[in-house]
Amino acid sequence: MQSPRAKEGRDVGFAGRSAILFAMATVSKAIEPILIDLSQSHSKNASMGYEYSLASAMAMAELMKAFLCFISLLAVRKKCLQLAEIDLKESRAFAAPAVMLAIANQTLFVGISYLGALFNQIARKAVCIMATAMLSQIWGV
């Protein structure tokens, strides 16, 4: 018979692994525009680099993220709860953030081209915070 601490240890272990994956995903999303800018030969911050299509680089980055998410899903799907069915009325609340995220993802490489990597990252976060604040006031969340 296992002690309660042993059971807690397994739960904390799974939570710890999930936290590590979440932290890695957060860091990779945050440094993505900076690394893409530094890898280009015309970047003022890069000592070396090469010419390539920025749109292709962003598409490859998105494909790699989708692949890694799929692998992670396969690794933990038996340990997770099944998804609950959501009523259409409830799912409408997710429409505005989903559209905004799609627009943000499509304009990422344009922002890097015109604003630079660091200022683009700061501007995107500021816009996200403002949009979240406005939507929470509108929807009364």
DSSP 64-118: HHHHHHHHHHHHHTTTSPPPPP--HHHHGGGHHHHHHHHHHHHTHHHHHHHH-HH
Asked whether the predicted pLDDT for residue 118 surpasses 80, the reply is no
Strand partners, 4: none
So what's the pLDDT on residue 41?
Answer: 62
Asked whether the predicted pLDDT for residue 2 surpasses 60, the reply is no
So what's the pLDDT on residue 46?
Answer: 54
Highest mean pLDDT among 16-25, 38-47, 128-137: 128-137
Mean pLDDT across the chain = 72
CA proximity to 41, closest of 52, 31, 50, 32: 50
Highest mean pLDDT among 25-29, 64-68, 105-109, 127-131: 64-68
Give residue 69's domain range: 4-139
For residue range 83-115, what is the model confidence (pLDDT) as tens digits?
667 677 777 777 777 787 778 777 777 777 777
Element (H, E) at 4: helix 4-39
Place of tokens 């598409």: 59
Asked whether the predicted pLDDT for residue 58 surpasses 80, the reply is no
Place of tokens 């992670």: 72
Q: How many domains does the chain have?
A: 1
CB neighbourhood size of 91 (10 A): 11
Place of tokens 């933990």: 76
φ/ψ of 50, rounded to 5, equals -150, 160
The model carries a pTM of 0.42
Between 9 and 137, the more confident residue is 137
Type of residue found at 85:
E
- ∠ Cα 97 138 88 (to 5°): 50
Asked whether the predicted pLDDT for residue 47 surpasses 80, the reply is no
